[in-house]
Amino acid sequence: MAYGSAMSEPTLGHEEEATSVLGDAGTPLAVAALALCVVGGAVAGYIYLPEEWHLARRIAGGGVSGFGCWLLVMVGRVIG
């Protein structure tokens, strides 16, 4: 199809509107859960990771772990 053509793209007859797995309030809820998991993971990393590690490494490691927990929960919601 040429650029700027007035023709629309062909469809498969599935013009349904995409809906969120979490419902209408899904995006704010997912963002709040992400923030909670990352901050909670950073705090847990600060408290529980070895004191020999640099402070930034403990906080970053905890934050990455919190993100992993959030990702696991969200993928579980999408699949289930």
pLDDT of 27-78, one tens digit each?
888 899 999 999 999 999 999 999 999 999 999 999 999 999 999 999 988 8
pLDDT over 90 at 20, yes or no = no
Q: What is the pLDDT of residue 21?
A: 57
Q: What is the pLDDT of residue 61?
A: 97
| Cα-trace Rg, the chain | 21
pLDDT over 90 at 5, yes or no = no
Question: What residues does each domain of the chain span?
Answer: 26-79
Q: Are 62 and 42 in contact (CB under 8 A)?
A: yes
Q: Are 43 and 66 in contact (CB under 8 A)?
A: no
